[in-house]
Structure 1
Amino acid sequence: VGVIGFSVGATISWLCSESNLCNFVIGCYGSRIRDYVNRSPVCPTLLIFPAVEQTFDVDCLINSLKQKREPLLEIKKFYGVHGFMNPFSQTFNKESADQAFQTISDFLEKQLAHH
């Protein structure tokens, strides 16, 4: 079972990563993850962030998460702002979206190969 979420769904995905109900979790631009940095994933977890968010410092959040040295956590940052992967958003960035979706595809391939 895998969970993928965008925006608020990414924060929910992050919270799910701490349960034993998921085999993997993917969260894309979950801005409220900053309220839950104390969580520890128990399954492979991929978090994708834009380079810039209006409501918080992305690099600060990423550094806080990386300092925990969670072995199951992978974090990627791509050029753009919140919504850069959504082709229907004004903030869509095709190049970054393509890179992010390739990262997700690679992550899924690795996770599905283990099951």
Structure 2
Amino acid sequence: MYTISEKNERVTILLHEIYGVNKYIHHFANRLSQDGMDVVCPDLLGGNVFSYEQQAEAYQYFMTEVGFERAAAEMKDLIQSLQTQYKEVYLVGFSIGATVAWLCSEQEGISGIVGYSGTRIRDYLDITPECRTLLLFARYEASVNVDSMIPALTRKQVEVVRIAGSHGFADVYAPTYTMHSSNRAYALVTEFFAKKSRKIIS
């Protein structure tokens, strides 16, 4: 567990993608901290960190050793614990982390979730978030047709934004990093946090 805490009233659970708690997760956590947010980064891979060249191996490890449902159950316990310490609890996830955040979005009392390229959300479209939800997808997501997901998501009052670039556009260390798109996405995240938290009512 990687934590940056200055005893603020708000905390973000930052959920990594298949590579683990790598340099980019530390980078993003520090950026959130500089913007006045306490940050908790759970390690879903038990200390394993994969390189970008190990994409297939990393994905296989997550699916066989962890899985979405187990990860979500662990995060729900963490959310309940943090709710005793903070007024607002957010989740921000990348790829598999975004899908885990989506699976937690029905948890009572969450202030909001943000998901970057959570393409496996396509398997869990039966979920209706009980909090404000922002999903950011690259314009080119090789593993899913995002346009086919959008109607189901927007019916649930989920904000969906397509960002120029490919999967991994926000990661400053990834080969698909796109600076303009990364900055645009983070501006949307900052705006999301600045809005007053509210429970979604269907």
Question: Normalising to structure 2: TM-score of the pair?
Answer: 0.52
**Corresponding letter in the other structure for 2:115:** G
RMSD, matched Cα:
1.4
Note if 1:107 corresponds to 2:195.
Answer: no
Residues of 2 paired with 1:99 and 1:111: CA distance? 21
Between structure 1 and structure 2, the one with the greater Rg is: 2
Name the structure, 1 or 2, with higher relative contact order (CA <8 Å, separation 6+).
1
SS of the aligned residue for 2:138 comes to: strand
For 1:94, the equivalent position in structure 2 comes to 179
For 1:6, the equivalent position in structure 2 comes to 94
Runs of 4+ in structure 1 off by over 4 angstroms are none
Note if 1:75 corresponds to 2:160.
Answer: yes
Paired positions, count: 110
SS of the aligned residue for 2:195 comes to: helix
Residues of 2 paired with 1:23 and 1:111: CA distance? 9
Give CA deviations for 1:6-50 in whole Å, capped at 9, x if unaligned: 010000011111111411111111110000111101011111100
Residues of 2 paired with 1:82 and 1:70: CA distance? 24
Task: Note if contact 1:24-1:111 (Cα within 8 Å) is conserved in structure 2.
Answer: no
Q: Give the unaligned 5+ runs of structure 2.
A: 1-88
SS of the aligned residue for 1:9 comes to: helix
